[in-house]
């Protein structure tokens, strides 16, 4: 039986209309991560388009990290909605950093603006800092720069998470993942991570104490310690 909620596409740029209808159905049906879209053939029939248009739309969605295409039959057929739409942004930022079309300073400046806001909001909400404390403890036992950065990334992404804004959290994950190599190099250059860990303790205390101004200042000072060449003395 034909599902009448899919509307035949009549415009020239067919795959864009396919994308628009998939977006509409996701919103109207309340689909979430793990839910499955109809198989390619079924979508093409219900939309009144060729399978190539559906395939092109799915490629775009997969590139954006919205769906994960899987080969299957029956109930296992059809692309699955994913929970990490920030993956494409991570890849894009990493590529632009590698091509030098973005400078590290620009990424750090963006991170500073985002993280100052997130720390401020988390402090105003007196957010739960248990995840931050656990990441801080793990940093203390790290035996390499790579391991330290892994837990440091978890710490800073957790600040964005506890701010309560999911988009800010997704952007923060993308920023941190894209500059992982630069972060490891920064820790290697610094050598002693005690200053960074002290900064983290200060951030946690400010958030737990409900002091948004101090939380924002602590984030700024922390990034200045991690990337001194990007924060010259006033």
- Summarize pLDDT for 90-148 with one digit per residue, the tens: 666 666 666 566 788 888 899 999 999 999 999 999 999 999 999 999 999 999 999 99
Q: For domain 87-230, give the fold.
A: 1.20.120
Domain 14-81 has CATH 1.10.10.10: yes
Six-digit token string for 20: 């628009």
- What count of Cα atoms within 13 Å lies in the side-chain half-sphere of residue 4? 0
C-alpha to C-alpha distance for 78 and 72, rounded to whole angstroms:
7
- pLDDT 10s digits, 33-70: 788 888 888 888 888 888 888 888 888 787 767 787 76
Going from the C-alpha of 42 to that of each of 2, 46, 58, 96, 106, the distances in angstroms are 9, 6, 13, 38, 45
Q: What is the mean pLDDT of the chain?
A: 84
C-alpha to C-alpha distance for 68 and 33, rounded to whole angstroms:
10
Taken in order 159, 162, 168, 170, is the CA torsion positive or negative? positive
197 versus 167: the higher-pLDDT residue is 197
Could you tell me where in the chain the CATH 1.20.120.530 domains are found?
87-230
């Amino acid at each position: 039986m034909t599902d009448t909620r899919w509307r035949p596409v009549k415009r020239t740029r067919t795959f864009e209309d396919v994308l628009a209808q998939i977006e509409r159905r996701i919103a109207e049906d309340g689909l979430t991560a793990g839910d499955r879209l109809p198989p390619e053939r079924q979508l093409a029939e219900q939309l009144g388009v060729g399978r190539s248009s559906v395939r092109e739309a799915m490629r775009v969605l997969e590139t954006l990290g919205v769906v994960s295409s899987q080969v299957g039959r029956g109930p296992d057929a059809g692309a699955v909605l994913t929970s990490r739409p920030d993956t494409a942004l991570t890849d894009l930022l990493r590529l632009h950093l590698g091509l030098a079309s973005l400078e590290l300073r620009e990424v750090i400046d963006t991170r500073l603006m985002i993280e100052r806001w997130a720390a401020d909001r988390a402090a105003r909400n007196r957010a739960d800092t248990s995840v931050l404390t656990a990441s801080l403890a793990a940093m203390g036992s790290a035996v390499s720069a790579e391991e330290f950065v892994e837990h440091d990334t978890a710490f800073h992404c957790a600040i964005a998470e506890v701010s309560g804004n999911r988009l800010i959290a997704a952007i923060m994950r993308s920023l941190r993942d894209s500059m992982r190599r630069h972060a490891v190099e920064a820790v290697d250059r610094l050598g002693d991570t005690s200053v960074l860990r002290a900064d983290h303790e200060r951030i946690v205390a400010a958030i737990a104490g409900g002091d948004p101004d101090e939380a924002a200042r602590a984030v700024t000072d922390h990034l200045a310690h991690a990337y001194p060449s990007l924060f010259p003395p006033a």
